[in-house]
Amino acid sequence: MTTTDLIALLPMLTLGTSCIMTMLAIAVRRDHATIAVLSGVACLITLATLPVSALIIPHSVTPLLIIDGYALLYMGLIVTATAVIIALSYGYLSLHLRGQEQCEEYYLLLLLATFGGLVLVTAVHLVSFFLGLELLGVSLYSLIGYLRTRREPLEAALKYIVLSGSASAFLLFGMALLYFETGTMAFNQMGASVTASHLPPLWLTGFLLIFVGVGFKLGLVPFHLWIPDVYQGAPAPVTAFVATVSKGAVFALLLRFVGDLQALHQGRLGLLVALVAGASMFVGNFLALLQQNVKRLLAYSSITHFGYLLVALLAGGSLAAEAVTFYVIAYFITTLGAFGIVTVLSREDGDADSMEDYRGLFWLHPWLAATFMLMLLSLAGIPLTVGFVGKFYAIVAGLDANLWFLVVLLVINSVIGLYYYLRLVLTMVEEPVGGRQKLEWNFHGEIGREWTVVFSLGFVTIMLLWLGLYPGPLMEFIRVMLGPTVTSIASS
């Protein structure tokens, strides 16, 4: 291990050291506020090390990891999202546990799961792929069921661990077949012997099994059945983490994986991914139309959005990686904001996940209602929001690749999605049936004044509007950071 290797790994080493320091701090003195602040500071220090590592990129550290602009960009996105979730979690856990349970280990699990995400975005080898995925997944099992005295989180955790274990079995079997066929576990060597006219059966089977495992982690149709149950049962901040950090890290790995293997260059595989994209868009939207539970509505919405992302991924060309990355950033911002509102409005006896919990919100907490409306409009792709710009880039990438049918499906499903987003918006501006006094009792208005809420929701709202009105600098930054990755995706 050279000095250059250590500098390249500095963000991961910093976060890993922070995990150990947090564990020791918990052992020495249990204090919720202290551990929460320590975890937040760990994220900020990790972000501060990214420019240092950027001085020597691209740099391979053993055959397992590569630190390049692509990895650093997604590292920054993941760690920033974790910092926002930590800020949201402090008030949530203070309300829900109220000293009855210890909650310091929650932040350690968040940091460990984030570390797993960092491994995923730097992975270029099947070993690092699986290690990062399992480190992320095992931490999520505990986070989802962290409120152990309640039935819903435990049920969600049990469902996730069973189905995630099954997905891991598919992944391992697929990896074994790819290794057997190619004799290597490095991404960029696995596709070297494959051409459009020669697609070995074992290679194809191995790739499909890996895609099944990744499809489960992303909640793509037909591997989506766990999504609504886990989103509904998990604590609201953990749901935000699963929807953003977990899925974002896995999709970043998928983007590099298919680019290095040149997988989408194979016509049959491209058709399969297109079918999954179309099914995810329609099934997610159709089931979201039927929901009266806000967390389940957002769960099915996330299925649709990853269908949109697959359209941009299939496009290839010079715009694909850039469009996908911008869309992921837009998705992070809006999803963190949406689940942030759910977190803030949650009561001691449960999360605010019913439509009725939001009826008349505008009349009691206008700034919370306005923030939630912005997030929903961004998810719907309304102009002047970052979600609109993300969909615009996805559509442009699709048109550039002549994926007319998928682009038409994307536009149609965006119109369908507008209905259930606006339904929730209209619910917030209605006068509450029981009067405003009843609404205030439900919402515990004092939570909205906590500085952690102001920081987290204020940050994502500013980013939503700023990138929606002025996306050019971010897109240029993405283009610079991705560099060779764009060429890899373009050729696939």
For 235-281, how does the pLDDT look when each residue is reduced to its tens digit (9 = 90+)?
999 999 999 999 999 999 998 888 888 777 666 788 888 999 999 99
pLDDT at res. 305: 93
285-323 pLDDT, tens digit per residue, is 999 998 889 999 999 999 999 999 998 888 876 678 888
Angle formed at CA 248 by CA 242 and CA 253, multiple of 5 degrees:
125
Is residue 355 within 8 Å of 292, Cβ to Cβ? yes
Hunting for tokens 């982690």 — which residue is that? 217
Phi then psi dihedrals of residue 76, to 5 deg: -60, -40
Alpha helices, H only, 61-103:
69-97
Residue percentage of the chain with pLDDT more than 70: 91
Q: How many residues does the chain have?
A: 492
Spatial CA neighbour of 63 closest among 4, 113, 129: 129
Maximum Cα–Cα distance across the chain: 70
Q: Where does residue 396 rank: exposed (0-12), middle (13-18), buried (19+ CB within 10 A)?
A: middle
Which tokens sit at 387? 């979600």
At 489 the pLDDT is 47
Indicate the domain borders of the chain: 3-491
pLDDT of residue 145 exceeding 80, the answer is yes
**pLDDT tens column, 273-294:** 899 999 999 999 999 998 889 9
Q: Could you read off the pLDDT of 330-374 as tens digits, one per residue? A: 999 999 999 999 988 887 777 888 888 888 888 888 888 999 999
Q: pLDDT for 393-450, tens place per residue?
A: 999 888 888 888 999 999 999 999 899 999 999 988 887 655 554 444 344 444 434 6
| Nearest Cα to Cα of residue 400 among 321, 484, 307, 483 | 321
Rounded Cα distance, 342 and 365, in Å: 13
CA–CA separation, 403 and 186 (whole Å): 30
Q: For residues 302 and 318, is the Cβ–Cβ distance under 8 A?
A: no
Cα distance between the two ends of the chain: 33
Residue with tokens 């079995």: 169
Nearest Cα residue to 294 out of 393, 134, 428: 428
Helices 201-218 + 151-182 axis angle, to 10: 160
CA 92 to chain centre: 20
pTM: predicted TM-score of the whole model, two decimal places: 0.92
Helix (H) / strand (E) element for 61: namely strand 59-61
All residues at 6 or more sequence positions from 451 whose CB lies less than 8 Å from its CB, including other chains: none
Phi-psi sector, 63: left (phi>0), alpha (psi -120 to 50), beta: alpha
Alpha helices (H) along 401-450: 404-429, 436-443
What pLDDT sits at residue 198?
67
